[in-house]
Structure 1
């Protein structure tokens, strides 16, 4: 039996790609040094897969920033404003990803959105009426040849034509259907070239197929691939799907001349039923996604083997595969020197998942799989107890009533009380919470964790940073201040470290976007709070100023979605446990005199099911109440803020309003303003702060462009409901650009206020 994975983490075991890229951006590395780092990482990743016996090793799954952006560049989808900079190929690529501000010009980055139901962000291709889609780049061919020189035969990976056209942003009159012929011709050329280089299998990723598709969508897909595959040559073409099932196009997929189809049996609720109902073509190979590519727990072989044995009754050609790219899990448990073996034996990161595929293959070659020592060892692992419970917390959760989720009085009455209390000017200015994490800030935190400085010295440094940050915010002229979060690493990891029920890792980094990596905590048991988390620094910051200072918290849904969850209880149960812990923190902040509290739900939409029919029943029915549970007990005059970023929120705008926050801020600087139209059209009660500039780019916005953006917002949003803020936290930015951008933001706001 053969094995395959859909993709592998790019960043390296020690985040080598992140550091090389950032050194290049800062001028410390040459472009050749950056390219060499990429070459070394690809070789290492291919060799690891070969050592673990993976049959179909992917190539072109590596990226210096984002695979969708790579695909856009490959097919000549580069807007003219980036070409006009006159930069080299890689510099133009990074200008599209990060924006550019320098001698060659000043351009913003492309829009950025979440990749389906993950915390990975992709760059949105931008197609205008003048775009000529054609094969223009060489990346997949170069990397296939690179692996071949190492003696490694790979399966080149391309993001599919249908997904590319469906995810793209169209800025002119033309739409996806107008680019079908050119796109099909470009993809056919790419397949022909890869086949000519000796590729035996080529993987085409079409994750958009697991979403709700109309008849017109299915027709567009058929039209594209009928043309692309009309003369596909000698290479076998694998149509790879993931993140769900392909119920809207399963029959059509079977009829098209793909040589293999990759199906997700982890998140694909109906995948097995589709095969039972319609069968599977005996002319195709089934790449069966039986290994969870998104969670870190060991695979229970009994379940995978039972599934494969049933699939064998429908087709004889089965390849064992991951359910999605392993990009979404950490690199290897080898880097975890502090976790005890009783924990790590239950974990499988990317490298361990390669071994699991090898072990499953070995077990399945046994005439009696259950007799295999590997099978029996796996069963002993799952027979052991691992998750830890909290009886008092379980009783508290079970006792919740509707009253615990309802904040009183109603929104309108609270709004009057809050306006009288805070007396803020029109268009109040604030930030999302974090300020730059300088090398000194990180060194202080690291030294304390290592025990090389005392707790008092650690805290005194943080107090000095907070005092300086408060003073600078006052100087800039912000209306509502924050303490800067100098004690925090990641917004979820920090809270996880302060709660019971989590495991923490040393090197379990996962790429979020570009060079941004996060280290999600692992939920090991019931989650509770044993002591206050943020009260000390928040109250200290408040003592330094007469202006309001926000308490800064992460919400329960985001903590859950940005952690690796348990598999023995439902997400709703974990969310309510976390919500009760954060509720206790909210009430402690309020008792300590913090009158504005921001509870970030940056990841609210992330786990929204990809099928609209499942939105309420499987997610929103508990995710929205979980947020309400956090703040339902505060006084009317306490103002509750929340923040969301880099997702499409327009279609759940009423659910967001039902969160019953007083103010919501969200990303708007890279995206179109559809969400503002949605707010305007649905009678949205909550006050709003659409981000006025992009913090994921190093460019400094001018006061003029922020001012223009504010006037566009005021066309749709009443001035009495509009807040002014960046679109996300500032921890990843440099000091100089941060303060310059905030000065421009305040300047623009003051000028707009004068015109009201």
Structure 2
């Protein structure tokens, strides 16, 4: 008979930013010189301890420690082992905080490390670079956090460590040298774990999300070697091997590893993990950590349904196996608390569950499993979800009928690219290697202050519009003085590229404090897509048409694409994501047509998050790409031949989806390459790209202003594999976060690099 006292509640990680983004504010104050390092440590320490106390108050048995970070947990792992790129001139020992932040953000003398998506989420991590110095243990960070929780709060925390296999799979320079790097780093991992055991840690959570991706036979052997070595060298340590984001691959081999517990995602990997449990069972001598509360979305859990799921899981495991009830993944991906969201309609507010509320759900499920009783939260959640389901916004028949029709029809441009290109070139008469930017210009303190005054009612709509028009006019003038070929209006009226559109589309709602970390201190407030989405009225025409009236050069209309709006929102769970994407696409199609009608015939529909939704399982990818590409094409397929469609993507690996990128049939695509140091260019050596393309020639996330020579070098490399007639020159992303002085300096260098490259092409007749 199962010992109900051995059913525990757990958490995998907590949002580090704080309810009011205190974390972000402290770090940025340090960067700007307003506080020193000592004060930064003090502020972040207080935030960290408060988060531990909040979890303790929620009744969580296994509270994670070491999930906190000063920037990014993958970067933390790299510097803990002294893996600092050579260009930062690190000489060993504890890594200085200035070096830590330089790796993430760049410095005046060294480019930042690459940044990319954390699996299929909107969180970005800093990619470790395995080069130069031999690794060493610079500081046992999980140990210091474990000691802090125990000594200062009396909390027996669960240290969290990124697993060696996943760390290497995420690193540059390890793909063909996994065995070598395992042998280099495994002794250091053993040292970290041995010191935690000696300190008295009851559990250590080792995160291995890479185990839900494709795992080769060779990789299985490597994983077995890692954990057999740890078991031999640190006998008796209770390791919880934690997977998330999907069903674990190689289930039989993974659950047989010599670890005390296995964590499985029963939300996003529900079917695969349940099927494995049914087919192979679960070891009686291990603890199963069941992730049954969604750690990536913000809707309340149907606790009765989840209770039934837990009963099935218990029935499929041995009565001697212990159980931990927990979220499906770290709560890093959801906001902190829904308590302050009283400005939302009641039907929405009641249906929300952020990090604090999700831990309440975990505790309620644990209580129900242990006692057989039904906590009041079960009925509260059920009532809230029923009210939301019955909301009229979820039954807009005109939208639903339009989606049903479009889902059964092809969505194609009216002619092939070769024909469109000739007509567009005749219309625009752009030079070889045309220059442009991605869309946004610096959002200064003055811009943000003006927006706040307008939102608070201190400024009238007329006064705010006048301010925005002045900013647009100023930057149109600057762009013309710099010599850019294709201009943008600057997006000064927009807070966020998704929020701006969501505020204008029925079916969306917005929180007051629903912030989540995207990368570093960059926090975003994703919209809530709760109802059917439909077009209401033009959203961007006024500002874009005004900007175009100020210049004879083309000004791009700037829209965010349907798949990015989808992937950067918290999405309703009662219909498929494909359906929601088509709803958004149909609304954007009407906006594109409104721009075209207003005389804006160069339109950029950005899809930076297309890759973000890429399923982790290869078997699921074709289906996702089919409907994601179709959603984009729905939004742009009705334009005329002479209307040039641009799109933009950034900070992802694109080499395995170049075919789908081409299938978008955009006339021009711009892709980030600066942080990846041109590695994407290698993909074009193997695959011809026949459409217009711009590879970002400098990194906008660093304050560093690159020289003309650096950009010329990047252009020269690209033109070895790309057609100069189709090549555009641009930064790698929008310039919203940069200052005016550095923006102007960098763009002047970019235009200079373009001119030098044109001259080199003219003189050589073949390449730069």
TM-score by length of 2: 0.95
2:368 paired residue number: 363
Instruction: Specify whether residues 227 and 701 from structure 1 end up closer, same or farther in structure 2 by C-alpha distance, changes over 3 A only.
Output: same
Which of the numbers 305, 321, 346 marks the counterpart of 1:303?
305
- CA separation of 1:40/1:550 partners in 2, compared to 1, >3 Å: closer, same or farther? same
Structure 1's 402 and 395: CA in aligned 2 closer, same or farther, altered over 3 A? closer
1:264-413 alignment runs, 5 A limit: 264-268=265-269, 269-313=271-315, 314-315=317-318, 316-367=321-372, 369=373, 372-386=375-389, 387=391, 388=393, 389-400=395-406, 405-413=411-419
Using the alignment, how far apart are the partners of 1:238 and 1:88 within structure 2?
28
Q: How far has the Cα of 1:385 moved from its partner?
A: 4.2
Determine the C-alpha separation between the residues in 1 that align with 2:91 and 2:739. 24
1-structure distance, mates of 2:204, 2:244: 16
> How far apart, CA to CA, are the structure 1 residues paired with 2:620 and 2:343?
40
In structure 2, the residue matched to 1:654 is: 659
Report if the CA contact (8 A) 1:200-1:234 is conserved: no
Q: Is the 8 A contact 2:348 2:388 kept in 1?
A: no
Q: Is the 8 A contact 1:643 1:664 kept in 2?
A: yes
Indicate if the aligned counterparts of 1:363 and 1:374 stay in contact, CA closer than 8 A: no
2:263 pairs with 1:257: no
Q: Distance in 2 between matches of 1:402 and 1:57?
A: 49
In 2: Cα distance, 1:356 partner to 1:170 partner: 42
**Kept in 1: contact 2:608–2:648 (CA 8 A):** yes
Match of 2:703 among 685, 691, 698: 698
Deviation, 1:404, is 5.5
Distance 1:372 1:438 in 2: 49
- Give the aligned partner of residue 626 of structure 1: 631
* Pair 1:587–1:205, CA change in 2 (3 A): same
Displacement of 1:321 after TM fit? 0.8
- Displacement of 1:680 in angstroms is 4.3
How far apart, in 2, do the equivalents of 1:549 and 1:465 lie?
A: 15
Structure 1 Cα separation of the partners of residues 512 and 646 of structure 2: 32
Would you say the 8 A contact 1:693–1:727 is kept in 2? Answer: yes
**TM-fit CA distance, 1:611:** 0.8
User: Which residue of 2 is the match for residue 10 of structure 1?
Assistant: 16
- Per-residue Cα deviation, 1:296-336 (whole angstroms, up to 9, x for no partner): 00000122111111111213411101101000001111232
2:155 is aligned to 152
The equivalent of 1:430 in structure 2 is: 436
Structure 1 position 82, deviation (Å):
1.3
- Change in 2 beyond 3 A, CA 1:584/1:77: same
Between the aligned partners of 2:177 and 2:307, the Cα distance in structure 1 is 45
- Counterpart Cα distance in 2 of 1:442 and 1:24: 21
**Match status 1:558 vs 2:558:** no
Match of 2:496 among 490, 508, 517: 490
SS class of match (1:508): coil
CA distance in 1, matches of 2:388, 2:254: 43
Q: Deviations over 1:246-276 (max 9, x none)?
A: 13x2112222210011000111130011111
Q: CA deviation at 1:141?
A: 1.6
Contact 1:60 1:157 in 2 (8 A): yes
In the aligned structure 1, how far is the partner of 2:419 from the partner of 2:181?
52
Query: For residues 557-599 of structure 1, what are the alpha-carbon distances to aligned partners after superposition, in whole Å with 9 as ceiling and x for unaligned?
Result: 0000000011110011100000000000001000100010000
Q: What's 2:116 paired with?
A: 113
**Range with bigger deviation, 210-219 or 666-675:** 666-675
Alpha-carbon distance change, 416 to 403 in structure 1, aligned in 2, over 3 angstroms? farther
Matches within 5 A, 1:32-51: 32-51=38-57
Superposition map of 1:571-586 within 5 A: 571-586=577-592
Contact 2:678/2:714 (<8 A) preserved: no
8 Å contact kept, 2:74–2:128: yes
The equivalent of 1:189 in structure 2 is 191
Q: Which residue of structure 2 aligns with residue 204 of structure 1?
A: 206
Aligned to 1:719: 724
Q: 1:85 to 1:752 in 2, by over 3 A?
A: farther
Distance 1:277 1:399 in 2: 41
Over 3 Å counting, the alpha-carbon distance change for 1:385 and 1:504 in structure 2 is closer
Matches within 5 A, 1:208-219: 208-219=210-221
Select which of 98, 102, 105 maps to 1:98: 105
Q: Secondary structure at the match of 1:28?
A: coil
When the two chains are superposed, the root-mean-square deviation of aligned CA atoms in Å is 1.6
Query: Counterpart of 2:764?
Result: none
Partner secondary structure for residue 365 of structure 1: helix
How much does 1:677 deviate?
3.1
Match of 1:747 among 735, 742, 752: 752
Give unmatched runs, 5+ long, in structure 2: 1-6, 762-768
Tell me how far apart the structure 1 counterparts of residues 621 and 326 of structure 2 sit (CA, whole Å).
28
Task: Name the structure 1 match of 2:689.
Answer: 684
Q: What SS class does the counterpart of residue 233 from structure 2 fall into?
A: coil
Aligned to 2:452, what secondary structure does the other structure show?
A: helix
Asked if the contact 2:347–2:387 (Cα under 8 Å) also holds between the matched residues in 1, the reply is no
Question: Counterpart in 1 of 2:742?
Answer: 737
Match of 1:161 in 2: 164
* Cα shift readout 1:231-254 (whole Å, capped 9, x = no counterpart): 22443111000001113x211222
Unpaired runs of 5+ residues, structure 1, are none
The reply on whether 1:604 has 2:606 as its aligned counterpart is: no
Count of aligned residue pairs for this structure pair = 746
Aligned equivalent of 1:223: 225
> Per the alignment, in what secondary structure is the counterpart of residue 570 of structure 2?
coil
| Per-residue CA distance 1:105-148 (angstroms, 9 max, x = gap) | x00011111000000000110012x4422322232221111111
SS in 2 for 1:261: strand
| Alpha carbons 2:673, 2:679 under 8 Å: kept | no
Matched, 1:451 2:457: yes
Matches for 1:477-516 after TM superposition, within 5 Å: 477-516=483-522
CA distance in 1, matches of 2:692, 2:382: 53
Q: Look up the SS of the partner of 1:320 in the other structure.
A: strand
SS of residue paired to 2:533: strand
Secondary structure of the equivalent of 1:180?
helix
> Aligned pair 1:141/2:143, yes or no?
yes
Q: CA deviation at 1:397?
A: 1.7
- In the other structure, the counterpart of 1:587 is 593
Alpha-carbon spacing, 1:495–1:140, altered in 2? closer, same or farther (3 Å): same
174, 177, 190: which one aligns with 2:179: 177
Conserved 8 A contact 2:338-2:352: yes
Deviations 1:329-360 (A, max 9, x none): 01111232311332111000011111111111
Matched residue, 2:765: none
Distance 2:381 2:66 in 1: 33
SS at match of 1:590: helix
Instruction: Give CA deviations for 1:688-743 in whole Å, capped at 9, x if unaligned.
Output: 11110111111111111111111111111111111011111111112221111111
- The aligned residue for residue 129 of structure 2 is 126
Q: Deviations over 1:180-229 (max 9, x none)?
A: 22211111100001111221110000000000111111111112222122
Cα distance in 2 for residues equivalent to 1:717 and 1:218: 39
Aligned equivalents of 1:85, 1:472: Cα separation in 2: 43
Distance 1:401 1:381 in 2: 31
Look up the match of 2:96: 89
1:463 & 1:584 partners in 2: Cα distance? 24
Greater displacement, 397-406 / 203-212: 397-406
How far apart are 1:374 and its partner, in Å?
A: 3.6
CA contact (8 A) 1:192 1:233 kept: no
